[in-house]
Structure 1
Amino acid sequence: MVRFFRRIVAWVLKVLVELALLTGVLMFLANYAFHHWIPIRQRVQASVEAKVALHHIHPLSYTAIPAAYREAVIATEDRRFSWDPGFDPVGIVRSFIVDVEKDGYVEGGSTITQQLVDNTILNKKKTITRKVKQLAYAVGIYDTFSKEDTLAMYANVIYFGHGAYGLYNAAETYFGQTPTQCNAGELAMLAGIPNEPSLYDPFRNLSLARQRQQIVIDNMVDDGQITQSEAEQIRAMPIRLVHNKGQ
């Protein structure tokens, strides 16, 4: 029994030490970000523009992104997006607990802003050092861009599989339509693809893509974005893939 309690105490102390170290480093880097916001802003904008040019992305403004897609992404990827400071403290604590339990870096706990950083500035190598840098950049983005601009940049650079980067390109690739021409069911499917593009590619595995779509719709209900009745209407909407318009 004594050994058991010692292990519990050691585990708790390890978690607290890691969180304290992370908080200290993050505060230092965040302070740097706050006082050097112009380089961060320029770097993010340059990275987004470079990716748009490289992948021939058709960029969309925030207002050109359908509300149904915005709601689906926020409900699924980052429910606290409207007020979080670029990172989710709750998610970080949860991910660190899992990391400690697994004795390594396992959980991500990334917000929409952090995913934007991953898809523009940093590589995706899973290390604690890169995670701290990601957090610092996310805080810098929070301090220098509006939430609307952040979400628009995310939607414009995220990878949707099948060679499609950005929401506009993805809508054309899978449905042969612009995002505003897609129905809410198709937009919910698009919102779920970036989690695992090769797995949820509807051309390759429509069944799994539909399962993921159902999760996104459930998330929208849980987050209060839509009612259960509206969810059922969205589930019944046709998925009009370009190679099977009659579906």
Structure 2
Amino acid sequence: MRKRRKKKHPVRKFFRNMMAALLCIFVVACVFFSAKGYQMYKEAVAEKPVSERVEEIRSMEGFTPYSELPQFYIDATISVEDHRFEKHCGIDLIAIGRAVLTDIKERAFVQGGSTITQQLAKNMLFTQEKKLERKAAEVFAALELESDYTKEEIFELYVNTSYFGNGYYGVGEAAYGYFGKPPSELREYECAMLAGIPNAPSAYSPDGDGELAARRTEIVLDSMVRNKILTKEEADEIKEEDF
């Protein structure tokens, strides 16, 4: 006796076809924006190679070498901006996946997922405008930076090209502008505060909303606890310092 073949449920079939169509659209979109991003990257390096841009940054007045950065500031920045910085190859697939899901949920670019290397690429080569092709271009530039420069060099270049609000570009200008001292003399609370500013300079500038700046500093310190750089007791003690 032949077994009767089960009929496929029409609703399941519809959703299966819908998922397949969405997957195809996603793949096509990835290919399209990757191609546009690669073209954007090639145009940027053709205009001026990465090596030339790096030398220009290093020759800027007020450039702060890695050796003059407090270890606490380095740890704080990596912790809050890109805690897998030492391990990834310039892009963090976990962070990108989380950002994509958040952006889809919110139907807007609300989370970046960019690594420190990608942010450096953006600062050096591209505009701040949020476009998918620019995000793709960042990836190609980040891979080049990671192949030609050490992590210390990438970090050094990143903090010297970041905007810290109030017209201050680079950690050196920001340290003198906000605290009247070079980065090497910053206290731990001041380091944490500077580490938190580039995420949203106009909001977290100490010269702006002091409450917001303090809240952001606490977020930085909490991230250091979460990443096991500080104990909760150490973070709480630093929070009492204020600025």
TM-score class, shorter-chain normalisation, is: 0.7 to 0.9
Deviation at 1:107, TM superposition (A): 3.7
The reply to whether residue 85 of structure 1 matches residue 89 of structure 2 is: yes
Q: Which moved more, 1:104-113 or 1:218-227?
A: 104-113
Deviation at 1:3, TM superposition (A): 4.8
SS of aligned partner of 1:119: helix
The reply to whether residue 108 of structure 1 matches residue 112 of structure 2 is: yes
Give TM-score scaled by structure 2 length: 0.81
The reply to whether residue 47 of structure 1 matches residue 53 of structure 2 is: yes
Q: Which residue of 2 aligns with 1:18?
A: 26
AA in 2 matched with 1:14: L
Deviation at 1:127, TM superposition (A): 1.7
Structure 2 Cα separation of the partners of residues 184 and 144 of structure 1: 32
Deviation at 1:12, TM superposition (A): 7.3
Deviation at 1:88, TM superposition (A): 0.6
Q: Which residue of 2 aligns with 1:244?
A: none
AA in 2 matched with 1:47: R
> Which of 155, 158, 176 is residue 154 of structure 1 equivalent to?
158
Q: Is the 8 A contact 1:86 1:135 kept in 2?
A: yes
Structure 1 Cα separation of the partners of residues 24 and 228 of structure 2: 34
Structure 2 Cα separation of the partners of residues 66 and 5 of structure 1: 59
**Deviations for 1:201-235, whole angstroms, at most 9, x for unmatched residues?**
11121110000000000000001111112111211
**Deviations for 1:100-145, whole angstroms, at most 9, x for unmatched residues?**
4556655421100011011111112222211111100001111111
Give TM-score scaled by structure 1 length: 0.80
Structure 2 Cα separation of the partners of residues 222 and 109 of structure 1: 18
Q: Is the 8 A contact 2:84 2:92 kept in 1?
A: yes
Structure 1 Cα separation of the partners of residues 187 and 11 of structure 2: 59
Structure 2 Cα separation of the partners of residues 60 and 234 of structure 1: 25
Deviation at 1:87, TM superposition (A): 0.8
> Which of 197, 218, 224 is residue 220 of structure 1 equivalent to?
224
Q: Is the 8 A contact 1:157 1:165 kept in 2?
A: yes
Structure 2 Cα separation of the partners of residues 70 and 19 of structure 1: 37
Q: Which residue of 1 aligns with 2:3?
A: none
Q: Is the 8 A contact 1:160 1:170 kept in 2?
A: yes
Deviation at 1:26, TM superposition (A): 5.9
Structure 2 Cα separation of the partners of residues 170 and 197 of structure 1: 11
Give the direction of change, closer, same or farther, for the CA distance of 1:192–1:12 in structure 2 (3 Å limit). Answer: farther
SS of aligned partner of 1:159: coil
The reply to whether residue 195 of structure 1 matches residue 203 of structure 2 is: no
SS of aligned partner of 2:166: coil
The reply to whether residue 141 of structure 1 matches residue 149 of structure 2 is: no
Computed over aligned residues only, the root mean square deviation of the Cα atoms, in angstroms, reads 3.2
* Aligned length in residues: 230
> Runs of 5+ in structure 1 lacking a partner?
240-247
Q: Is the 8 A contact 1:87 1:135 kept in 2?
A: yes
Q: Is the 8 A contact 2:193 2:214 kept in 1?
A: yes
Q: Which residue of 1 aligns with 2:185?
A: 181
AA in 1 matched with 2:138: Q
Q: Which residue of 2 aligns with 1:171?
A: 175
Give the direction of change, closer, same or farther, for the CA distance of 1:24–1:128 in structure 2 (3 Å limit). Answer: closer
Give the direction of change, closer, same or farther, for the CA distance of 1:19–1:217 in structure 2 (3 Å limit). Answer: farther
Q: Is the 8 A contact 2:33 2:133 kept in 1?
A: no
> Which of 73, 83, 98 is residue 69 of structure 1 equivalent to?
73
Give the direction of change, closer, same or farther, for the CA distance of 1:8–1:151 in structure 2 (3 Å limit). Answer: farther
Percent of aligned positions with the same letter in both sequences?
32
**Deviations for 1:174-213, whole angstroms, at most 9, x for unmatched residues?**
0001112110001100000111111111112111000000
AA in 2 matched with 1:44: V
Q: Which residue of 1 aligns with 2:212?
A: 208
